[in-house]
Amino acid sequence: MATMPASASDLLKSFKLKTKQQELLIRVSILCLVYILAFITRLFSVLRYESMIHEFDPYFNYRTTLYLTENGFYDFWNWFDYESWYPLGRIVGGTLYPGLMVTAVLIYRILRFLRFAVHIREVCVLTAPFFASNTTLVAYFFGKEIWDSGAGLVAAILIAVCPGYISRSVAGSYDNEGVAIFALLFTFYVFVKAVNTGSLAWSLASAFGYFYMVSAWGGYVFIINLIPLYVLVLLITGRYSMRLYVAYNCMYILGMLLAMQIRFVGFQHVQSGEHMAAMGVFFLMQVFYFLDWVKHMLSDTKLFQAFLRITVTSAVAVGGIALGLGMVSGYISPWTGRFYSLLDPTYAKDHIPIIASVSEHQPTAWSSFMFDFHILLFLFPAGLYFCFKRLSDATIFIVMYGLTSMYFAGVMVRLILVATPAVCLISAIAVSTTVKNLTVLLRSKNKVVQTGSTKGSGGSKSSSKALLDQSQPFQKNGAIALLFGAFYLLSRYATHCTWVTSEAYSSPSIVLAARGAHGNRVIFDDYREAYFWLRQNTPQDAKVMSWWDYGYQITAMGNRTVIVDNNTWNNTHIATVGRAMSSYEDEAIEIIRSLDVDYVLVVFGGVTGYSSDDINKFLWMVRIGGGVFPVIKEPDYLVNGEYRVDKGAAPKMLNCLMYKLCYYRFGEMMTEYGKPPGYDRARGVEIGNKDVKLEHLEEAFTTSNWIVRIYRVKPANNRW
Amino acid sequence: MEARIRARVNLALTFFALLFFVAGSSPPRQFVISNAERRIDLSSHIINVHLTLKVENAGTRPASEVVLALTPTEVDHLAMVDASAIKGKRKKTTSLRLEVKPTELPDAPPIDTKYFTIYLANPLNSGESTTLEVLYVFTHFLEPFPAEIAQSESQLVFYHDTALILSSYHIKQQTTFIKTPSTKVESFIRMEPTNRVGTEIKYGPYEDRPPYSISPIHVHFENNSPFAVVEELVQEIEISHWGNIQVTEHYKLIHAGARHKGVFSRVDYQSRQSSNGASSFRYLLARLPPRVHSVYYRDEIGNISSSHLRTDSLKSELQIEPRYPLFGGWKATFVIGYGLPLQDFLFESSDDKRYLNFTFGCPLIGMVVDKLTIKVVLPEGSTDPSPVVPFPVEHHLEL
């Protein structure tokens, strides 16, 4: 604004805007542009492919949303799903976070009411970008609250395009995280606002924000642990105030009561170990309040010190005993495996293979930090420095949020998402403060130059210049250079974000695209081919067995019953499937028949070179199966600690059901010019067992690029 | 082309059409057929029978109603019947379309014969003769045998008919030609003189057969043409105030040939295409009006990427491929949608009414439609709509 050209400012003057109004206008228009940018940058996938739901979990969300639109809320709440976890079934209403579905249906109803004849699918596809846009607004207000409106604007811009967030909120990525990040940031913002103002209204708003977060995503546990931790830190650093007391108590009590309305969460707030910290801090607050009151009543400091010691000791003792009793009696449930694996990254690997098997639960590599944050990774420490320089209740919060979420982001890849808003906000503080300091320098110089030129005397100019910058000789040039550097970095960031979004995060993963020999785009639509075949050409009540990754997609797109799906609630059931896949065919058929399975579906990338197929996932089937059924021993499948499929593979590997189903008649197939038949392009080897014979299963369907293969279970032979 | 559209339409409407019986008939014995030639084309699953009759009035009074006889099974599978009179000789022939209506005759002969009456444009005087050309189109008439085939087998079907043309008149001389799609004919019943050359089987000529004489025959032959049947088609035509017609067609497609049995092997299907899945089909061709725009082809789970659109000034051709090849008994549902410029189809008349002139039927070629529903969504503010269809249809107004 300072360097606005004269003509533009004349133009603005003709509109008779005061400086403040100009500033407001610019701020509002920047926010509007950011709002739009955040939405459209997430539309790559729609433009490249089509308006479709991505990945795995979103298909379940889509299916439930469809059910909600068709059958209404009460049926949805009481829905018992017979199509998954056969023969157990799943109580869907009680085992999901309904926030996302209810939000989408609400948007859908509003649009319908406004006479927009949209399909619910379009609403679902665009829900995540819409909420991402809203998140930018929240980020602006949050930044304004903790620093100033400049930092808020920068935060909004940074978060609008940050790949860490985009990875989970592109159009079609209809997942809980899409709305949950909005809810998370909103809750934090409103809570900080409540702490800053001590207003009951703001803390009430934060309780509702928390309620929305609880209804939307299991990540609410982060809020219910971070906020008490923050309160605790404030207490320790002697920043206890009435504002804090009001904000926390109102938020905690109301938030807890509201959260209990979500069936999946239920009484966990008072019964689960993960929520106990919040309750402990709640009681601690009461003790503090009581002590404050006593201190107020007692004028004697020595007496108060003694009283303080007794009270704190007894309070901690009572709390500890209550917690211990609760744990022992089983009233308070211990921490879950997921929670443990957050605190100890090696825990899942040793104890819960099913958590470790998910790629997004792996510890984060440095490269993916760089990929998702780019320059924010360097700006983050700088921002922390500025925060520490200007400590307040709000900056303490953002520092704590940043540090804890960075730790979690390091533990699990998917939690980069939670860290993204904090990183953006803190980096925004760094950018905004730096740029502001530099422009202040430049502006003061400019004034000098202007005054000097009006005076028209070179001597006075140089003298006033010398007066101003006594400390650094090339301050102006340095400032300009630094400003250019900052803008260069920011422009690199924007380029990087766009590139990452378009290249890495906008693939639906249902439809695969590759470059053909002539540079043309080849589309592999095999998943939908197979699912649609299942939907049209198998009996309505057919049971399909596959690895759990594909469960949601088979029920949503294939409309057929599955044995296991992505809601991995029953480890034994999954292990049974893993055991069937890793046994010999005649052993596997017993399990298959006992599960009443009609079709077996495997994903195979050997023809196309698609690497995330079932053979590459096979080690987890063995490991998970072996975790429950000791008959499956991992070393049987390994050769020198390696999984192989070529001639050097272990005999059990070459004859297990998964191998047979993937490579059935693959030995006749020429996949690549100049290679022998049966050359597996995904693993780059010639397969070891080309003569695969199936006894109890028969090929029912194989897609055009062989990515999905479906086998029919033959009826049992008559016994004589 | 028009005949084909009518074929499909009539199929859907046969049952309605049959309700409109016309009472009253002329004595059947009045005519004598001096020469009858029948050409039966079995190359696809839609059977076209061209019947050329030379009719002579042997009675004493002028008559104008010629009666055609069909067996009940034929009537059940009859999609359409069309008749025309041939005038002129050799190369200067002109044909005149004649009205055909289903009839019931009071003095029904032994078998449950069904009748259609052709109304001649000019009554035929005693002793005069005329040439009539009749086209029958039958659907669902070929019976796959064996009813289930494996992937490597080709599809064999039975065609049942009679070597002698069923007629209520005396036929002096008749010949029947049956054209099969290939030379692979498993068996056929002979009735001398019978002669088979290449893809054609010739029955006759037979001389002086009395009325209602039949001689059942069958032909068992290979037919690998796509037995594509649309079980149900719902076509929505939405007229917009903004100069656009949006057409949405919901298809339920099935391969109605011999059912697929056992495994489907992709490696065989890909590497030995000539001998594998011969009766399956992959491509469908839709002929859409010219200047079509915003064409899409999708199903419940998203866009189907395998489609191509070719447009020129006269027509647009949309080639679509279902997600997977269709074998016998396999189904696929899909939706085709497209927009059309309104001015090509909407006309304004002087009496302040507007007419939408739209082709009735299914744009997919070589397709049998079992059930067709057309919904026309009128723009807001329209009043008193009424359909004009050249054949009886059931229609109602939804508000």
The Cα of A217 is separated from the nearest Cα of chain B by a number of Å equal to 26
User: Contact B305/A52, CB-based, under 8 Å?
Assistant: no
Q: Would you call B380 an interface residue with chain A, using a CB distance cutoff of 8 Å?
A: no
User: Contact A665/B267, CB-based, under 8 Å?
Assistant: yes
| Residue range A245-271, pLDDT digits in tens | 999 999 999 999 999 999 888 888 888
Average pLDDT of chain B is 84
| Residue range B133-162, pLDDT digits in tens | 999 999 999 999 888 999 888 899 999 988
Residue B20 scores a pLDDT above 70? no
Do B169 and B213 form a contact (C-beta atoms < 8 A)?
no
User: Contact A699/B263, CB-based, under 8 Å?
Assistant: yes
Chain B residue with Cα closest to A701:
B264
Contacts of A608 in chain B (CB under 8 A): none
Chain A residue with Cα closest to B261:
A700
Residue A682 is classified by DSSP as: T
Contacts of B306 in chain A (CB under 8 A): 525
Do A410 and A365 form a contact (C-beta atoms < 8 A)?
no
Residue A183 scores a pLDDT above 80? yes
Contacts of B252 in chain A (CB under 8 A): none
Do B191 and B163 form a contact (C-beta atoms < 8 A)?
yes
Distance CA A155, CA B394 (A): 64
Q: What pLDDT shows up at residue A37?
A: 95
Q: What pLDDT shows up at residue A272?
A: 85
Residue B213 scores a pLDDT above 80? yes
CB pairs < 8 Å spanning A and B: 62
Mean pLDDT of B114-127: 86
Say which residues have a Cβ less than 8 Å from residue A12's Cβ, sequence separation at least 6: A4, A22
Do B354 and B346 form a contact (C-beta atoms < 8 A)?
yes
Q: What pLDDT shows up at residue B18?
A: 32
Distance CA A571, CA A54 (A): 25
Residue A446 scores a pLDDT above 80? no
Q: Would you call B92 an interface residue with chain A, using a CB distance cutoff of 8 Å?
A: no
Look at residue A624 and tell me if it is in a domain.
yes
Chain B residue with Cα closest to A523:
B305
The Cα of A582 is separated from the nearest Cα of chain B by a number of Å equal to 24
Distance CA B360, CA B11 (A): 12
Q: What pLDDT shows up at residue B5?
A: 38
Q: Would you call B331 an interface residue with chain A, using a CB distance cutoff of 8 Å?
A: yes
Considering only the beta carbons, identify the residue of A50, A668, A702 that sits closest to B302: A50
Amino acid at A379: L
| Residue range B175-188, pLDDT digits in tens | 999 999 988 898 99
Confidence of residue B331 (pLDDT cuts 50, 70, 90): very high
Residue A456 scores a pLDDT above 80? no
Q: CA separation (Å) from A211 to A220, A229, A231?
A: 9, 19, 19
Q: What pLDDT shows up at residue A461?
A: 45
Chain B residue with Cα closest to A527:
B323
Amino acid at A501: T
Between residues A142 and A94, the one the model is more confident about? A142
CA dihedral for A175, A179, A182, A185, sign (positive or negative): negative
Considering only the beta carbons, identify the residue of A50, A669, A700 that sits closest to B264: A700
| Residue range A55-98, pLDDT digits in tens | 889 999 999 999 999 999 999 999 999 888 988 989 988 889 99
Architecture of domain B31-222: Sandwich (2.60)
Q: What pLDDT shows up at residue A42?
A: 93
Chain A residue with Cα closest to B334:
A532
Contacts of B299 in chain A (CB under 8 A): 532
Task: Domain of residue A265: give its range.
Answer: 175-333
Contacts of A525 in chain B (CB under 8 A): 304-306, 323
Contacts of B263 in chain A (CB under 8 A): 698-700, 712
User: Contact A702/B303, CB-based, under 8 Å?
Assistant: no
Confidence of residue B3 (pLDDT cuts 50, 70, 90): very low
Look at residue A549 and tell me if it is in a domain.
yes
Distance CA A646, CA A649 (A): 6
Distance CA B69, CA A84 (A): 58
> What would the DSSP string read from start to end of B101-119?
EEE--SS--SS--EEEEEE
Task: Record the tokens describing residue B276, joined without a space.
Answer: 């594998």
Q: What pLDDT shows up at residue B106?
A: 67
Distance CA B387, CA A303 (A): 99
Look at residue A81 and tell me if it is in a domain.
no
Q: What pLDDT shows up at residue B4?
A: 41
Q: What pLDDT shows up at residue A150?
A: 92
Confidence of residue A450 (pLDDT cuts 50, 70, 90): very low
Do B339 and B245 form a contact (C-beta atoms < 8 A)?
yes
Compute φ and ψ for A269, nearest 5 degrees.
-65, -25
CATH 2.60.40 is the classification of domain B228-377: yes
| Residue range A292-316, pLDDT digits in tens | 888 888 877 888 888 888 888 888 8
User: Contact A528/B331, CB-based, under 8 Å?
Assistant: no
User: Contact A706/B266, CB-based, under 8 Å?
Assistant: yes
Chain B residue with Cα closest to A51:
B302
Say which residues have a Cβ less than 8 Å from residue B290's Cβ, sequence separation at least 6: B311, B312, B313, B314, B315, B316, B344
Contacts of A702 in chain B (CB under 8 A): 264-267
Q: What pLDDT shows up at residue A7?
A: 61
Nearest to A186 by CA among A148, A252, A138, A134: A138
User: Contact B330/A537, CB-based, under 8 Å?
Assistant: yes
User: Contact B301/A525, CB-based, under 8 Å?
Assistant: no
Say which residues have a Cβ less than 8 Å from residue A689's Cβ, sequence separation at least 6: A649, A654, A655, A659, A660, A663, A667
Considering only the beta carbons, identify the residue of A523, A666, A703 that sits closest to B305: A523
Confidence of residue B14 (pLDDT cuts 50, 70, 90): very low
Domains identified in chain A, total number: 2
CA gyration radius, chain B: 24
- Where exactly are the structural domains of chain B? 31-222, 228-377
Give the H or E element holding residue B33: strand B31-41
User: Contact A702/B265, CB-based, under 8 Å?
Assistant: yes
Highest averaged pLDDT of the listed ranges A122-136, A633-647, B360-374: A122-136
Distance CA A558, CA A540 (A): 10
| Residue range B234-276, pLDDT digits in tens | 999 999 888 899 999 999 999 998 999 888 988 888 887 777 8
Q: Would you call B274 an interface residue with chain A, using a CB distance cutoff of 8 Å?
A: no
Contacts of B305 in chain A (CB under 8 A): 511, 523, 525
| Residue range A13-70, pLDDT digits in tens | 666 678 888 899 999 999 999 999 999 999 998 998 888 898 889 999 999 999 999 9
Look at residue A80 and tell me if it is in a domain.
no
Q: Would you call B323 an interface residue with chain A, using a CB distance cutoff of 8 Å?
A: yes
Task: Record the tokens describing residue A670, joined without a space.
Answer: 């020429």
User: Contact A533/B267, CB-based, under 8 Å?
Assistant: no
Say which residues have a Cβ less than 8 Å from residue A533's Cβ, sequence separation at least 6: A701, A703, A710, B323, B324, B330
| Residue range A589-631, pLDDT digits in tens | 999 999 999 999 999 998 888 888 999 999 889 989 988 999 9
The three state secondary structure string of A34-57 is HHHHHHHHHHHHHHHCCCCCCCCH
Contacts of A687 in chain B (CB under 8 A): none
Instruction: Give the count of beta carbons closer than 10 Å to the beta carbon of residue A656.
Output: 25
Q: Give the rounded percent of residues in chain A with a pLDDT score beyond 90.
A: 52
Task: Record the tokens describing residue A180, joined without a space.
Answer: 């949950």
Task: Record the tokens describing residue A513, joined without a space.
Answer: 């695209």
Give the H or E element holding residue B66: strand B63-70
Distance CA A420, CA A467 (A): 44
The Cα of A50 is separated from the nearest Cα of chain B by a number of Å equal to 7
ipTM of this predicted structure: 0.87
Do B236 and B226 form a contact (C-beta atoms < 8 A)?
no
| Residue range A564-590, pLDDT digits in tens | 998 888 889 999 999 999 999 989 999
User: Contact B265/A511, CB-based, under 8 Å?
Assistant: no
Residue A686 is classified by DSSP as: E
The Cα of B1 is separated from the nearest Cα of chain A by a number of Å equal to 32
Confidence of residue B381 (pLDDT cuts 50, 70, 90): confident
Mean pLDDT of B216-241: 91
| Residue range A333-385, pLDDT digits in tens | 777 777 777 777 777 777 777 777 777 788 888 899 999 998 999 999 999 99
Q: What pLDDT shows up at residue A530?
A: 94
Look at residue A554 and tell me if it is in a domain.
yes
Looking at A333, A361, A380, the residue that finishes a domain is: A333
Q: CA separation (Å) from B160 to A553, B142, B145, B163?
A: 47, 8, 12, 10
Chain A residue with Cα closest to B330:
A537
Residue A506 is classified by DSSP as: -
Give the CATH number of the domain where residue A553 resides: 3.40.50.12610
Confidence of residue A113 (pLDDT cuts 50, 70, 90): very high
Residue B241 is classified by DSSP as: T
Residues of A with CB under 8 A from a CB of B: 50, 52, 510-511, 523, 525, 528-529, 531-533, 535-537, 557, 665-666, 668-669, 698-704, 706, 712
Do A600 and A610 form a contact (C-beta atoms < 8 A)?
no
Average pLDDT of chain A is 87
Q: Choose the mutation target among B263, B308, B320, B330 for the interface with A, i.e. most A CBs under 10 Å.
A: B263
CA gyration radius, chain A: 30
Chain A residue with Cα closest to B325:
A704
Do B17 and B392 form a contact (C-beta atoms < 8 A)?
yes
